[in-house]
Structure 1
Amino acid sequence: MFTTAWTASPQLPSEGFTPNWSREGFWRQSLRQVVRLTAGGERVRVRFSNAYGNSPVRVAAGAVAAGGSAVRLTFGGAAEGEMSARGELVSDVVQLAVVAGESVAVTLYFDTATGPATFHAQAFATSYRGAGCLLGGGDGFTESSESWYFLSAVETDSGRGDGIVLFGDSITDGFGSTAGADRRWSDALASRTGRPVLNAGIGGNLLLNDSAWYGERGVRRFGRDVVRLAGVDTVVVLLGLNDIGFSETDAQPTYKPAPVVSAREVIAGYRELIRQASELTVIGATLLPFGGSDHWGERAAKVSHEVNEWVRCSGEFDRVVDLNRVMADPDDSDRLHPAYDFGDHLHPNDQGYVVMAEAVSRRL
């Protein structure tokens, strides 16, 4: 039985506020991406997504490495493979011993132009690009990026079926955590529970509406990014704050579209996620305090309070974790605790993400 040990939710190629290579793609170049697994095993397979590509993408060669060992990837027994337009490519299973908490490096070589690349904008980790085929290592990687490209999942033969998916926006994605240090709250939760924990956050994501910059709406991507993952039995939902808050600011041109939504509409979105996750344990998380941020305003305050009361009291989630109360400033419940605030009054810092993970761990 294979278990998803790492994942990143695919996004439409775009620039937004994060410089990246998604629109230009790759040609006669190698791409190396390093990701941290939350489940071990003796065998590995890798998934690549071309979900937003309008033409096939040829992978001329690939490799995966961990603990000083590297193995060439094959695809249906061949050294090369092809992602169909709007499709995916899954490697053959390879022998590679890995442990939970270990990082693996996945390297691909593209000998023909890929066109725009399906990617994950905010990795908070470094990916590398260099000219030519660099599967053998060396110093040829001359460029870096803080996004992931085509890589969507790594699975191991751990046989575990107790994986937890965190489904959300930039707070789940890890904005405000120390880049390159694996200090998102998904990392903290994996360390505390010993269970596979998968991060299905997209910075800026909306529950109810698609965005050119911040991914497909949560109710649409939920099946792909949560329900279909191997070895998962629990999902934590922490999404909706951008739906409520984007319309409060004109500061970011990427915060469009920003329809004004009601608590009733957000709740309907949650009910749709609960319906789709009928085979999973669904934990509803209250929205974090965001007073003083660019998302805050009189209407946003009213809607967020109504939504959080519904999450606490409706009984429609299997369990509830009240992150709003855990993360609040004791002197002003509408604001993040100063010790947990990254500085924008919206995103937690490393310490705040640990507190969130501890609260969810207790509910598990």
Structure 2
Amino acid sequence: MRPRLPSAAVLLTLVACQSAPAEATADASGVVTWAASADRMGDGIAGRGYRLVVHTSTGGSDLRIRLSNAFGDRPMTFDSVYAGVQKQGAELRPGSNRRLAFGGARTVTVPAGGTVWSDPLPGRLPAETDLVVSLHSPDAGGPASGHWMAMQTSYATQGDHTAEESGAAWTIPTSSWFYLDAVSVRAPAGTEAVVALGDSITDGWASTSDLNRRWPDYLARRLRKADTAVKGVANEGIAGNKVLADGPGQSALNRLERDALSLPGVRTVFLFQGVNDIKAHTGVTAEDLIEGYRELADRAHAAGKCVAVATVGPFKGWHEWDPAAEAVRQEVNAFLRTSGEFDAVTDFDRILRSPYDQERMLPALDGGDHIHPNDKGMQAMADAVDLSTLDCDATG
């Protein structure tokens, strides 16, 4: 259920202000409220507009967005970018659509391989808002950067219709997000965020589209009601992603900085990956994966972050399962449970597995393919996280 807003203009009502210059990083006092890892998409289309629907976790003021050209091979210009609140489909709530600026300008060019943050947009943005970012590029071309499996319907059009609150021109539905990879807000002092670094399970495959039922969504709803400083949640899952090797998306080792450490207000990196390395039958050993986890944890700790980790879930019944892969999973999970090298451990394997066959997912939690949990499984995972452990300073 969407939260009821006091008025359509509650989103970032414009006031007179001085715009800060566009910069490479977000405001140090900001906190990420939504994110999605960028990957290489198909070629960009000149003159194409996108109306991207995203769901915030924590509320705050002074919205900023990060545009990504991380996989582009040429500079890319955005000549019109707006933020509003979804009414239904591509239609926005009247009075909510506001233009974003970059260094005080309406137009910004993002260098190849780069990202850029917008200026703050004054006003309040509530938690659990269906935020809509509309953007247009006159010169898109070459590889686009985006997130292909959004589990959320967004919209596209040809031409610049970003300022329109009507959805009439936005006639092309898309299940991907393009060029937008993070949203931050200025939250109350002390507010922090957790980044879920994962694969298709974290990305939400087998959960219900358009209802925000990925396990990080359920976690965000729990955090909102809890007595904890950690309120923001960034979902950095990529379907097919691995810890060690590039493939669908850069490996966790190669994208840690951009997708986790660079985001504002992050207190904790939550690592839940490994099944794609294990089931690929490429000769990856438990020792290989353990070294990968250690490197991720060392780099996150060196950046001053807490590191939480989850055990790898059961996947017997998936076509790539075999006893050898299962042996690697069991050895990896034994290390994760007992090493003491992480600030917190959540045993997703224990939560998801069947008591009658511990190599297989409990049927009631199975999305149907024996590796991806359904909505109930996603909620069970989020419910298993001890919220107090997401801030290692608070827990000692």
Aligned residue in 1 for 2:236: 200
Are 2:306 and 1:281 aligned? Answer: yes
Aligned residue in 2 for 1:256: none
1:12 maps to which of 40, 52, 59: 40
Are 2:301 and 1:271 aligned? Answer: no
Are 2:213 and 1:183 aligned? Answer: yes
Which amino acid letter does the alignment assign opposite residue 256 of structure 2? F
TM-score between both structures, scaled by the size of structure 1: 0.91
2:116 maps to which of 89, 110, 133: 89
- What is the distance in 2 between the residues matched to 1:264 and 1:131? 50
Deviation sequence 1:202-240 (CA, Å, 0-9, x none): 1100100011xx111111111111111111111211111
**SS of structure 2 residue aligned to 1:209:** coil
- What is the distance in 1 between the residues matched to 2:309 and 2:270? 6
2:172 maps to which of 143, 148, 157: 143
Which amino acid letter does the alignment assign opposite residue 205 of structure 1? N
Deviation at 1:273, TM superposition (A): 0.6
Deviation at 1:362, TM superposition (A): 5.2
- What is the distance in 2 between the residues matched to 1:29 and 1:314? 50
- What is the distance in 2 between the residues matched to 1:157 and 1:343? 40
- What is the distance in 2 between the residues matched to 1:109 and 1:319? 42
Query: After superposition, where does 1:342-357 map in structure 2 within 5 Å?
Result: 342-357=367-382
**SS of structure 1 residue aligned to 2:293:** helix
2:97 maps to which of 53, 66, 70: 70
Is this contact kept in 2: 1:161–1:233, CA < 8 A? no
1:115 maps to which of 137, 142, 162: 142
**SS of structure 2 residue aligned to 1:294:** coil
Aligned residue in 2 for 1:219: 253
Is this contact kept in 2: 1:50–1:118, CA < 8 A? yes
Query: After superposition, where does 1:319-338 map in structure 2 within 5 Å?
Result: 319-338=344-363
- What is the distance in 1 between the residues matched to 2:204 and 2:144? 22
Moved more, 133-142 or 107-116: 107-116
Deviation at 1:361, TM superposition (A): 3.6
Is this contact kept in 2: 1:242–1:295, CA < 8 A? no
Gaps of 5+ in 2: 1-28, 86-92, 225-230, 390-396
**SS of structure 2 residue aligned to 1:32:** strand
Is this contact kept in 2: 1:290–1:296, CA < 8 A? yes
Deviation at 1:363, TM superposition (A): 5.9
Moved more, 308-317 or 339-348: 308-317
Deviation sequence 1:104-154 (CA, Å, 0-9, x none): 100011222333211111100012111211122331112111111110101
Moved more, 312-321 or 302-311: 312-321
**SS of structure 2 residue aligned to 1:89:** strand
Is this contact kept in 1: 2:97–2:165, CA < 8 A? no
Aligned residue in 1 for 2:11: none
- What is the distance in 2 between the residues matched to 1:323 and 1:172? 12
**SS of structure 2 residue aligned to 1:333:** coil
Moved more, 130-139 or 76-85: 130-139
Which amino acid letter does the alignment assign opposite residue 374 of structure 2? N
Aligned length in residues: 342
Deviation sequence 1:158-189 (CA, Å, 0-9, x none): 14442111111000010110011100001000
**SS of structure 2 residue aligned to 1:206:** coil
Aligned residue in 1 for 2:266: 232
Moved more, 133-142 or 162-171: 133-142
Aligned residue in 2 for 1:24: 43
Aligned residue in 1 for 2:277: 243
**SS of structure 2 residue aligned to 1:100:** coil
- What is the distance in 1 between the residues matched to 2:366 and 2:214? 14
Are 2:73 and 1:54 aligned? Answer: yes
- What is the distance in 1 between the residues matched to 2:270 and 2:244? 17
Aligned residue in 2 for 1:42: 61
Which amino acid letter does the alignment assign opposite residue 142 of structure 1? T
Identity rate of aligned residues, in percent?
Answer: 39
Aligned residue in 2 for 1:17: none
